Amino acid sequence: MPTLSTHVLDTARGVPAAGVPVRLVDASGRTLAEDVTDRDGRVASLGGDLPAGTYTLRFNVAVQQPDGFYPEVVVTFTVDDAEGHYHVPLLLSPYGYSTYRGS
């Protein structure tokens, strides 16, 4: 079954975004897992094995950037590869963010 990881980088300061709370939510809105990024801005494993479906990662970025424009970043994605690993990086700055499917 697929697994999930994430990585948050503060691109404005050029450092990992440590201490960012991350919550994994399923399509019904139920919280499946919660964690906090480590000193390298990573959560190595979140939610265990994931069946196919739609999921949302909710990043509480106000902890990292209290004066930023976005207090929370919400990323919704689809798991459809029965054997794949899903890595969802978040590149963060005070007035914008970017994400993509990593490897």
Task: Return the bridge partners of 87, or none.
Answer: 5, 102
Query: What pTM value is reported for the model?
Result: 0.94
Q: What are phi and psi of 35, to 5 degrees?
A: -160, 180
Question: What DSSP string describes 60-88?
Answer: -GGGT-TTSS-S-EEEEEEE--TT-EEEE
Structural contact between residues 97 and 72, judged by C-beta atoms closer than 8 angstroms: no
Give the model's pLDDT for residue 22: 98
Tokens of 67: 């004066």
Residue 1 pLDDT exceeds 80: no
Quick one: pLDDT at residue 62? 95
* pLDDT single digits (tens) 14-60: 999 999 999 999 999 999 999 999 999 999 999 888 999 999 999 99
CATH number of 3-99: 2.60.40.180
64 confidence band (pLDDT: 50, 70, 90): confident
27: its two tokens: 């399509």
